[in-house]
Amino acid sequence: MLHLVGLGLADETDITVRGLEIVKKAERVYLEAYTAILLVDKSKLEAFYGRPVIEADRELVESGSDDILAGADKTDIAFLVVGDPFGATTHTDLVLRARELGIQTNVVPNASIMSAIGSTGLQLYNFGQTVSMVFFLDNWRPSSFYDRVRENVQIGLHTLVLLDIKVKEQSMENLARGRRIFEPPRYMTVAQCAAQMIETEETRKEGVYTRESLAMGAARVGAPDQKLVVGTLQELTEVDMGAPLHSLVLLGRRTHDLERDYIRQFAVNEATFDASYQKSYGASS
Amino acid sequence: MLHLVGLGLADETDITVRGLEIVKKAERVYLEAYTAILLVDKSKLEAFYGRPVIEADRELVESGSDDILAGADKTDIAFLVVGDPFGATTHTDLVLRARELGIQTNVVPNASIMSAIGSTGLQLYNFGQTVSMVFFLDNWRPSSFYDRVRENVQIGLHTLVLLDIKVKEQSMENLARGRRIFEPPRYMTVAQCAAQMIETEETRKEGVYTRESLAMGAARVGAPDQKLVVGTLQELTEVDMGAPLHSLVLLGRRTHDLERDYIRQFAVNEATFDASYQKSYGASS
């Protein structure tokens, strides 16, 4: 059987008891390590599980899935996913491939950023669709996120923005020359995301939000040192939220007073928070 | 310290290792038992934790929170929540009250239906706002959900519908007479939800969806006997998904081909699925 096991968000102890039992008895244990990261090293996971863990990069999962599935018709293979196996990145391809090969699958859910973002105090009912923000390059500054954000803004809903991570990426030169040399990992910060959002608004000029729009920055959600801030996008371009992973939530105007009362404690500056809030938020529908 | 510990969705083994360690050493352990349920009895939790568990009903949490928090400035109190502590039902009130009393809080995330619904194969990025469906009464058939669904439908997004549960409810008569006699628990089924959705469309007649619109029913998400079906709303009025809890997802027209390929295996009837899909779904934006 193929077991897709969610690891949760922070460290080795965020696995569920059910998940841990599976990992301990599995024949092989893979860790999907290219769309998200835990805040601890693989060696810490191995020590905790008492088992070797095989890192599965994008190439292995997308092209070598039959290697992962080898023998899974007779023994148990565990495929570990940071967060939830069907969260921000879904692994339906692997499940479909297993089905084709007559291999049974079992999913062990866990916390995903897409629900744990509720720990900001913003209600999950008030979120619209989630968007992704990629690192802008000199000649590639995609603004498709902006159209999705507009759809949420028009309704008055919050938007969760998931921030790009670059793990095991090759430079164009190394890629062209076929050298398996990888760049150091990079994780987008809340400040970078806020700056890219402002740039996009000032390029597109469609008034979806402004520098004074309120947003929350969230770092290391679910970890003991989780950090939250709320401020204007302009203010967020200057916050330092510390180590990865970061996420951002653009507030919708339907923000409820109970949400405001909760998030205000995280304000970069209570005066600018109150001023922006009073001007543009708290609409009941 | 007040620890809000998510229990996940199915049984006693869905708690995280981090959460279990907290429960084992806490001075008192409360279980929030009125907005969601695990699929196992309290006694099973107590045996697993080796600790007594105090059931916290709505009255205790909303009016007696100071009893829950008593002593939490000096010792550890665990407050267990099915799913995630900030998922479908948030416990920000309790956290704010703790702060007022100078009590530190710690949150242990876990799977929530709001992310675990990704196990349907529908991508969480393609969901709009979540809505709730209450049991209709003779003289109270609220259709506010319908307006929210319309907002999602206009964009082309999926809608997760969370279904009503009635736990420890009193009849009007017992309430009036002050008798603490409670009705048996009731859990809305996918079939009931689909029927109420059709009724609302046929009352409001605004064309948000039809009897032929596709929806997925999901039962016991995250449990080993999780069950998924996809069919028209009409077909879903006749499905039997078994034991609670149930949820429903109304498909948005932006459904991606990869989502279709995955969910089709759960079709009540592949012919009606294909016919409805071809007519109304698969729009890329």
DSSP assignment string, B233-261: HHHHTT----SSPEEEEEPPTT--HHHHH
Per-residue pLDDT at B237 exceeds 90:
yes
Per-residue pLDDT at B91 exceeds 90:
no
Q: Quick check: B110 and A157 CB within 8 A? A: no
Residues of A within 8 A of B262 (CB-CB) are: 92, 95-96
Candidates B17, B97, B149, partner chain A, best to mutate (most A CBs within 10 A): B17
Q: Quick check: A87 and B118 CB within 8 A? A: yes
Q: Quick check: A8 and B109 CB within 8 A? A: yes
Residues facing B86 on adjacent strands: B90
Phi first, then psi: give them for residue B152, nearest 5 degrees. -70, -40
Q: Which residue has the higher pLDDT, A50 or B61?
A: A50
Q: What is the C-alpha to C-alpha distance for residues A172 and A178, in angstroms, rounded to an integer?
A: 10
Q: Could you tell me the pLDDT band of residue A87, with boundaries at 50, 70 and 90?
A: confident
pLDDT 10s digits, B200-219:
999 999 999 999 999 999 99
Spatial strand order of the sheet with A159-163 comes to A131-133, A159-163, A246-250, A214-219, A227-232
Phi first, then psi: give them for residue B141, nearest 5 degrees. -130, 70
Q: Could you tell me the pLDDT band of residue A284, with boundaries at 50, 70 and 90?
A: low
Position A140 scores a pLDDT of 95
Determine the longest span between alpha carbons in chain B, in angstroms.
Answer: 63
Which pair of structure tokens corresponds to residue B141?
């058939």
Question: pTM (2 decimals)?
Answer: 0.94
Q: How far is A36 from chain B (nearest CA, A)?
A: 16
Torsion region of B237: left, alpha or beta (phi above 0 gives left; psi -120 to 50 gives alpha): alpha
CB neighbours of residue B202 within 10 Å: 10
Which pair of structure tokens corresponds to residue A123?
């209600």
Phi first, then psi: give them for residue B144, nearest 5 degrees. -65, -30
pLDDT 10s digits, A13-70:
999 999 999 999 999 999 987 777 787 889 999 999 999 999 988 888 888 899 999 9
Q: Quick check: B124 and A85 CB within 8 A? A: no
| Virtual torsion, Cα A231, A235, A238, A244, nearest 10 deg | 20
- Mean pLDDT value across residues B136-144: 95
Considering only A115-129, B126-140, B176-190, B268-282, which range has the smallest mean pLDDT?
B176-190
Radius of gyration of chain A (CA): 21
* Amino acid at residue number A178: G
End-to-end CA distance of chain A: 48
- Among the listed residues B103, B26, B20, the one whose alpha carbon sits nearest the alpha carbon of residue B65: B103
Considering only A1-10, A147-156, B92-101, B213-222, which range has the smallest mean pLDDT?
B92-101
Q: What is the C-alpha to C-alpha distance for residues B177 and B174, in angstroms, rounded to an integer?
A: 5
Which pair of structure tokens corresponds to residue A204?
């597109």
Q: Could you tell me the pLDDT band of residue B140, with boundaries at 50, 70 and 90?
A: very high
Q: What is the C-alpha to C-alpha distance for residues A281 and B8, in angstroms, rounded to an integer?
A: 33
- Mean pLDDT value across residues A78-91: 88
DSSP string, chain B: -EEEEE-BSSSGGGSBHHHHHHHHH-SEEEEE-SS---SS-HHHHHHHHTS--EEE-HHHHHH-HHHHHTTTTTS-EEEEESB-TBSSSB-HHHHHHHHHTT--EEEE----HHHHGGGGS--GGGB---EEEPPPBTTB---HHHHHHHHHHHHT-BEEEEEPEE-SPPPHHHHHTT----PPPEE--HHHHHHHHHHHHHHH-S-S--TT-EEEEEESTTSTT-EEEEEEHHHHTT----SSPEEEEEPPTT--HHHHHHHGGGBS-HHHHHHHHHHH-----
pLDDT 10s digits, B251-284:
999 999 989 999 999 999 999 999 999 999 986 5
Position B184 scores a pLDDT of 86
Contact residues for B176 (Cβ-Cβ < 8 A; gap 6+):
none
Q: What percent of chain B has pLDDT over 90?
A: 80
Q: How far is B191 from chain A (nearest CA, A)?
A: 23
* Average of per-residue pLDDT values in chain B: 93
Q: Quick check: B119 and A107 CB within 8 A? A: yes
Per-residue pLDDT at A285 exceeds 80:
no
Q: What percent of chain A has pLDDT over 70?
A: 99
User: Is A278 within 8 Å of A179 (Cβ atoms)?
Assistant: no
pLDDT 10s digits, A117-173:
999 999 999 999 999 999 999 999 999 999 999 999 999 999 999 999 988 788 888
Q: How far is A15 from chain B (nearest CA, A)?
A: 5
Per-residue pLDDT at B285 exceeds 60:
no
* Average of per-residue pLDDT values in chain A: 93
Name the pairing type of β-strands B227-232 and B131-133: unpaired
Q: What is the C-alpha to C-alpha distance for residues B50 and A196, in angstroms, rounded to an integer?
A: 51
Q: Which residue has the higher pLDDT, A36 or A277?
A: A277
CA B39 to chain centre: 13
Spatial strand order of the sheet with B77-81 comes to B54-56, B28-32, B77-81, B2-6, B105-108
User: Is A209 within 8 Å of A153 (Cβ atoms)?
Assistant: yes
Position A81 scores a pLDDT of 94
Per-residue pLDDT at A260 exceeds 90:
yes
Instruction: Give the nearest partner residue to A129 out of B112, B116, B126, using CB atoms.
Output: B126
Q: What is the C-alpha to C-alpha distance for residues A215 and A205, in angstroms, rounded to an integer?
A: 19
Q: If you search the block for the tokens 């020359």, which residue do you land on?
A: A177
Position B284 scores a pLDDT of 58
Position B234 scores a pLDDT of 98
| Virtual torsion, Cα B132, B134, B140, B144, nearest 10 deg | 10
Candidates A4, A89, A129, A161, partner chain B, best to mutate (most B CBs within 10 A): A129
Q: Could you tell me the pLDDT band of residue B179, with boundaries at 50, 70 and 90?
A: confident
